[in-house]
């Protein structure tokens, strides 16, 4: 009898980590429901005529040029000891490898899914460039907290490098207008904010309280404004046409669910002593497709139908896929 009781207690004890992980996944799911609520509010304010499409574009510029950069900087200032030179170097190498793998995956997936050849460049861009800033930064803070921000910053630095060194070449070539690279394109509000944040970490910089508080007020608006704009984008899109692309559902499931899970399994095995780095980079890999490739494609008169479908479908799917991927986080 005692042996049987001991066996039951042991089995219950062994199930405890899984029960705890289930609770964590449920917590993250509720946070994604909050994101969904903000998206719905964005769609509602557009339908009610409170904010128009033109105002949405201005808000997007405000987020990209001011709010998101302030969010990056203020989180670095909140924990200036979170990133060491060794951690910076390690995470930079890991992110570079992730992007190289994504390039290979971007060439493979459209062929596996039987996509038309003219859509290959669009799927490559959808694979390579996730929404690691506009959505990624506020969602990461909500799920993992400020300790994950150094790795998010490194991820976004590499994003910018690949977007302008490689992504623009892909788009311009597909449009028959080969682009000439200009180093000036690498200097933007996002890269400047990342450079400042890395300097804060490496030099342990601080600001006067009044200045830090002022920047904090700006950064605190980022999550709401980002989701508001995305909600307006959903409300202004031809959803029946955009959401009717079955291939994009399959692609998104592979890209933002299967790939991040496989990445988590590999990184957990290789870096067992770096749980926050692994969790942050896996979360970045689970982000939906970014909208910057659409802007670039429009600039070069490239067809944007596949890009638009991929972005909207993956954005809606991430409300479910991110909680599922979080079950594989080591933290």
DSSP string, 67-89: IHHHHHHHHHHH-TTS--HHHHH
Residue 38 and residue 319 in contact, taking contact as beta carbons nearer than 8 Å: no
Residue 282 and residue 267 in contact, taking contact as beta carbons nearer than 8 Å: yes
pLDDT score of 54? 82
The answer, yes or no, to whether residue 330 has pLDDT greater than 80, is yes
> Other CB atoms closer than 10 Å to residue 303's CB: what's the count?
15
Q: Would you place residue 11 in the very low, low, confident or very high pLDDT band (cuts 50, 70, 90)? A: low
How far apart CA 149 and CA 104 sit, in angstroms, is 27
Which pTM value belongs to this model?
Answer: 0.83
pLDDT value for 14: 52
| Candidate ranges 44-48, 75-79, 176-180; pick with highest mean pLDDT | 44-48
Of 47 and 81, more confident? 47
Please answer whether residues 47 and 238 qualify as being in contact, where contact means their C-beta atoms are separated by less than 8 angstroms.
no
Query: 8 or 145, which is more confident?
Result: 145
pLDDT (0 to 100) of residue 10: 47
Domains of the chain with CATH codes: 27-326 (1.20.1530.20)
pLDDT (tens digit per residue) in 19-76:
666 667 787 888 888 888 988 998 899 999 998 878 887 888 888 788 888 888 888 8
Nearby residues of 47 by Cβ (< 8 Å), 6 or more positions away: 235
| Nearest CA-CA partner of 89 in 167, 197, 185, 202 | 202
Question: What pLDDT, on the 0 to 100 scale, is given for residue 303?
Answer: 80
Let me know: does 311 contact 294? Beta carbons within 8 Å: yes
Out of 109-123, 177-191, 233-247, 284-298, least confident range: 177-191
Neighbours of 204 (CB within 10 A): 9
- Residue 1 above 70 pLDDT? no
The band of 183, judged by pLDDT with boundaries at 50, 70 and 90, is: confident
Query: What is the model's pLDDT at position 12?
Result: 46
Q: 3-class DSSP state for residue 254?
A: helix
Lowest-confidence region among 9-13, 103-107, 177-181, 211-215: 9-13
Mean pLDDT of 82-108: 94
- Residue closest to 313 by CA, chosen among 258, 228, 253: 253
Q: Tokens 């001991």 correspond to what residue?
A: 6
The mean per-residue pLDDT over the stretch 260-285 comes to: 96
pLDDT at 2: 54
Residue 299: per-residue pLDDT: 72
Tokens matching residue 91: 């995470």
Highest mean pLDDT among 149-163, 216-230, 264-278, 280-294: 264-278
Q: Looking at the predicted structure, is the pLDDT value of residue 266 above 70?
A: yes
Among the listed residues 224, 201, 200, the one whose alpha carbon sits nearest the alpha carbon of residue 67:
224
Contact present, 162 and 124 (Cβ < 8 Å) = no
């Amino acid at each position: 009898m005692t042996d049987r009781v001991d066996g039951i207690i042991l089995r219950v004890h062994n199930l405890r980590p899984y029960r705890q992980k289930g609770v964590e996944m449920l917590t993250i799911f509720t946070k994604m429901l909050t994101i969904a609520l903000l998206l719905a509010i964005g769609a509602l304010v557009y339908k009610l005529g409170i904010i128009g499409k033109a105002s949405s574009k201005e808000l997007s510029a405000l987020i990209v040029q001011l709010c998101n950069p302030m969010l990056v900087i203020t989180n670095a200032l909140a924990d200036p000891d979170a990133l060491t030179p060794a951690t910076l170097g390690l995470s930079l190498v890991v992110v570079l490898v992730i992007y190289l793998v994504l390039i290979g995956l971007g060439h493979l997936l459209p062929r596996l899914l039987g996509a038309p050849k003219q859509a290959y460049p669009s799927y490559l861009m959808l694979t390579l460039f996730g929404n690691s800033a506009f959505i990624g930064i506020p969602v990461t803070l909500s799920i993992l907290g400020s300790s994950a921000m150094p790795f998010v910053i490194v991820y976004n630095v590499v994003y910018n490098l690949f977007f302008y060194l490689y992504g623009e070449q892909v788009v311009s070539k597909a449009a028959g207008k080969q682009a000439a690279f200009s180093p000036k394109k690498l200097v933007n509000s996002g890269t400047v904010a990342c450079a400042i944040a890395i300097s804060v970490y490496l030099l342990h910089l601080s600001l006067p309280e009044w200045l830090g508080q002022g920047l904090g007020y700006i950064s605190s608006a980022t999550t709401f404004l980002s989701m508001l704009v995305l909600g307006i984008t959903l409300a202004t899109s031809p959803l029946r046409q955009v959401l009717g692309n079955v291939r994009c559902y399959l692609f998104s499931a592979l890209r933002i669910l299967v790939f991040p899970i496989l990445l988590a399994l590999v990184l957990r095995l290789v870096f067992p002593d770096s749980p926050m780095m692994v969790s942050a980079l896996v979360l970045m890999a689970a982000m939906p497709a970014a909208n910057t490739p659409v802007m670039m494609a429009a600039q070069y008169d490239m067809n944007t139908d596949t890009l638009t479908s991929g972005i909207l479908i993956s954005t809606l799917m991430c409300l479910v896929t991110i909680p599922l991927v979080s079950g594989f986080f080591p933290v």
